[in-house]
Amino acid sequence: PTITPQVAQSYLQSYGDSCAFDALHFETMLGTRVLTVLSLQFFQVHDLFATFEIPAAVLQEFTHLMEKGYMKTNPYHNAIHAADVLQAFHIMALCVNQKKRDTLNQQDMLAGLLASIIHDFEHPGFSNRHLIRTSHPIALRYNDISPLECHHVAESFQV
């Protein structure tokens, strides 16, 4: 059966704020760009576009470039995983703020959502230990100190 954008939107409205959300299923429904769609949704829900005067088109372009940097051939550290982490942060933040109002402020929300989007950007599929032991260029660049984490952040800042 063909999945329409309306069906995908209905799924997001039904499960986007739930632990029952399935990023793999949602990606199958959309066919592509699950990280971008979720980013736009959660920035809207948390009123970050207005608060920080971020044009939606800028976030859309940024997340599209982030998605391109997540390797589709990486079975785990890919854009669907980033979308799953993004959605998990979103529901965690909702739960925290529901228990104690405004524990996470707008700046915390922006930082958490952006961190979720970029956290494994350009992940090569190997551990820090492997990169260091094989003298991988990423490990050499960051002097064997948390090379993947440094790489994810530094490269996302280049976007």
Q: Known catalytic residues? A: 77
Q: What is the 3-state secondary structure (H, E, C) of 108-128?
A: HHHHHHHHHHHCCCCCCCCCH
Q: Where are the alpha helices (DSSP H) in the chain?
A: 5-15, 23-30, 34-45, 48-51, 56-69, 79-99, 106-118, 128-133, 137-141, 147-157
Cβ atoms 46, 104 nearer than 8 A: no
Which residues touch 84 (CB under 8 Å, ≥6 apart)?
23
Q: How much is the CA Rg of the chain, to the nearest whole Å?
A: 17
C-alpha angle 26/19/43, rounded to 5°? 65
DSSP 54: -
